[in-house]
């Protein structure tokens, strides 16, 4: 497997203004182990987001708020 996997982004701050400079992607070498780890992380995040969204929907329903 050749190539790279993007694992995030980073942005430094301008020392004069404190504003963010353009974001720069962060990469790791694409190996079989890295791909398995990325796939596992995606599954974990999906589960977390699904649970958070379910809690949000339950709370809005309990509060009587209509969510389209």
Residue-level pLDDT at 2: 66
Mean pLDDT, range 26-51, rounded to an integer: 89
In whole angstroms, what is the distance from residue 39 CA to residue 62 CA?
A: 35
pLDDT for 24 equals 96
Give me the residue label for tokens 């701050």. 13
The pLDDT of residue 1 is above 50:
no
Average model confidence (pLDDT) across the chain: 90
pTM for this entry: 0.48
Query: How many Å apart are CA 45 and CA 64, to the nearest integer?
Result: 28
pLDDT score, position 38: 81
């Amino acid at each position: 497997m050749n190539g790279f996997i993007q694992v995030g982004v980073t942005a430094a701050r301008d020392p004069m203004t404190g504003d963010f400079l353009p974001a720069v992607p962060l990469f790791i070498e694409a190996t079989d182990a890295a791909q398995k780890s990325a796939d596992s992380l995606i599954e974990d995040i999906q589960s977390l987001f699904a649970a958070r969204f379910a809690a949000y929907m339950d709370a809005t329903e309990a509060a009587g708020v209509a969510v389209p």
